[in-house]
Amino acid sequence: MRLVLLIVLFFSSLSLAFESRGESFDEYVTILYNDLDLEKENLSYDVLWYALLGRGNLTNAFYGLIDDRFLTIIDYSKSSNKKRMYVIDLEDRTLLFRVFVAHAKNTGDQFAKYFSNKPGSNKSSLGFYVTLNSYVGSHGNSLRLEGMENGFNDNAFDRAIVMHGAEYVSQDFINRYGRLGRSLGCPAIPLDYVDSIIPLISAGSVLFIYYPDRSYLTNSKLLKRIPASGF
């Protein structure tokens, strides 16, 4: 069953689901950030903090439906010429992958700037997603995504926003054209990593697409509270 069917229940119960435990949550983020040496990997503490906050809120609200091991972060504040997608094993506290990832053609050239949830916009959408099933489509092995944030990415499934591989996501493409290629909205990854990443993170893990967009950071309900558990 698509997780979108639970969104109404989630947002109606959000105010009852948590109690503030900011200090313990901050300690957890700090320890994980240091264990993974993410400063060296060019991922900021703040992005990890947001990712774990939203993931914790989703885990609490959809207890038993969210995979509690893997977390994928895409940092669209970085140049597309940088490896800006991170796959983290929260159980073993290891960074499994750091790879290139494309943004959409109407989101920007080398740098992402413009985001939309509208069908036909050919733009990327910000926020938290939950992975669904993998399938073989026109782009080969691909991963369906369920956008979990009303107004920001909840049209993702109907827009056919999926994770898939693409030839234009490579260092060779950057060397030739000065930037990574772009998709029609999907977070496309290098072909060499499709068979390693997609099976690993499918079926209920959290994907967070970040950009320092003031409207998103201010209005996302998943970034409103510190999770009492589930982080």
Model confidence pLDDT, tens digit, residues 53-89: 999 999 998 878 899 899 999 999 999 999 999 999 9
Give, as one character, the DSSP assignment of residue 3: G
Establish if 44 belongs to a structural domain.
Answer: yes
DSSP 136-181: EETTEEEEEEEE-STTTTTTTTTTT-EEEEETTSSHHHHHHHSS--
Residue 226 has pLDDT above 90, yes or no: no
3-state secondary structure of 144: strand
pLDDT of residue 211: 98
Please tell me which residue, 24 or 200, carries the higher pLDDT value: 200
Q: What range does the domain containing 82 cover? A: 3-113+124-221
Residue 67 inside a domain? The answer is yes
pLDDT band at 2 (very low <50, low <70, confident <90, very high): low
How crowded is the C-beta side of 55, counted as CA atoms within 13 Å? 28
Mean pLDDT score, 137-165? 97
Single-letter amino acid code for the residue at 225:
R
Mind listing the pLDDT tens digit for each residue in 165-216?
A: 999 999 999 999 999 999 999 999 999 999 999 999 999 999 999 999 999 9
Distance of alpha carbon 53 from alpha carbon 156, whole angstroms: 21
pLDDT at 227: 66
Side-by-side strand order, sheet with 127-137: 94-99, 85-89, 70-75, 206-210, 127-137, 140-147, 162-166, 188-190
Domain assignment of residue 118, yes or no:
no
Q: Where are the alpha helices (DSSP H) in 18-111?
A: 22-35, 45-61
Per-residue confidence band for 49, with pLDDT thresholds at 50, 70 and 90:
very high
CATH of residue 14's domain is 2.40.440.10
- Tell me what pLDDT residue 70 has: 98
Q: Is residue 231 part of a domain?
A: no
The encoded tokens of residue 70 equal 């893997």
Distance (Å, whole) CA 140 – CA 159: 18
CB atoms within 10 A of CB 65: 13
pLDDT grade for 10, boundaries at 50, 70 and 90:
very low
Mean pLDDT of the chain: 90
Would 229 be classed as within a structural domain?
A: no
230 lies in some domain: no
**Predicted local distance difference test score (pLDDT) of residue 212:** 98
174-213: string of b/e by CB count within 10 Å (b at 16+)?
beeeebbbbbbbbbbbbbebbeebbebbbebbbbbbbbeb
pLDDT of residue 64: 82
Q: What would the pLDDT profile of 129-149 be if each residue is shown by its tens digit?
A: 999 999 999 999 999 999 999
Over 80: is that where the pLDDT of 26 sits?
Answer: yes
Question: Cα 108 to chain center, whole Å?
Answer: 18
- pLDDT for residue 25: 92
Total structural domains within the chain? 1
